[in-house]
Amino acid sequence: MKIAIASGKGGTGKTSVAVNLALSLRDSVQILDCDADEPNVHTLLPLTQDQIQPVFTMVPEFDETKCTRSKNCSAFCPTHAIFVSDQGITFFPEICIGCGGCILSCPSQAIQEGQRQLGVLHQGMTAPGIEVVYGELDVGEPFVVPVIKAVKDQAKNSEGTVVLVDCPPGVSCPMVESVHGVDYCLLVTEPTPFGLHDLRLAVDTVRQLNIPIGVIVNRAGIGDQQVFTYCASEDIPILLEIPHSREIAELFSEGIPFTQRMPDWQSKFRELFQVIQEGIRK
Confidence of residue 10 (pLDDT cuts 50, 70, 90): confident
Q: What is the CATH number of domain 57-117?
A: 3.30.70.20
Q: What percent of the chain has pLDDT over 90?
A: 90
Q: Give Cβ neighbours of residue 67 (< 8 Å, ≥ 6 apart).
A: 84, 89, 108, 110
Cβ contact 224:191 at 8 Å: yes
Domain boundaries, the chain: 2-45+126-281, 57-117
Q: Is the pLDDT of residue 127 over 90?
A: no
pLDDT at position 128, please? 80
Q: pLDDT per residue over 41-89, tens digit each?
A: 999 999 988 999 999 999 999 999 999 999 999 999 999 999 999 999 9
Confidence of residue 160 (pLDDT cuts 50, 70, 90): confident
Average pLDDT over residues 260-278: 95
Three-state DSSP at 157 gives: coil
pLDDT at position 220, please? 95
pLDDT at position 27, please? 80
Mean pLDDT, the chain, integer: 95
Q: How far apart are CA 36 and CA 258, in angstroms?
A: 24
Q: How far apart are CA 218 and CA 276, in angstroms?
A: 18
What size, in residues, is the chain?
Answer: 282
Question: Tell me: domain 2-45+126-281, CATH 3.40.50.300, correct?
Answer: yes
Average pLDDT over residues 246-260: 95
pLDDT at position 241, please? 97
Q: Is the pLDDT of residue 282 over 80?
A: no
pLDDT at position 196, please? 96
Same fold, 2-45+126-281 and 57-117: no
pLDDT at position 97, please? 93
Q: Is the pLDDT of residue 26 over 80?
A: no
Q: How far apart are CA 11 and CA 21, in angstroms?
A: 17
Dihedral sign from CA coordinates of 8, 9, 15, 17: negative
Q: What percent of the chain has pLDDT over 70?
A: 100
Average pLDDT over residues 86-98: 94
Q: How many CB atoms lie within 10 A of CB 67?
A: 17
Q: Is the pLDDT of residue 96 over 90?
A: yes
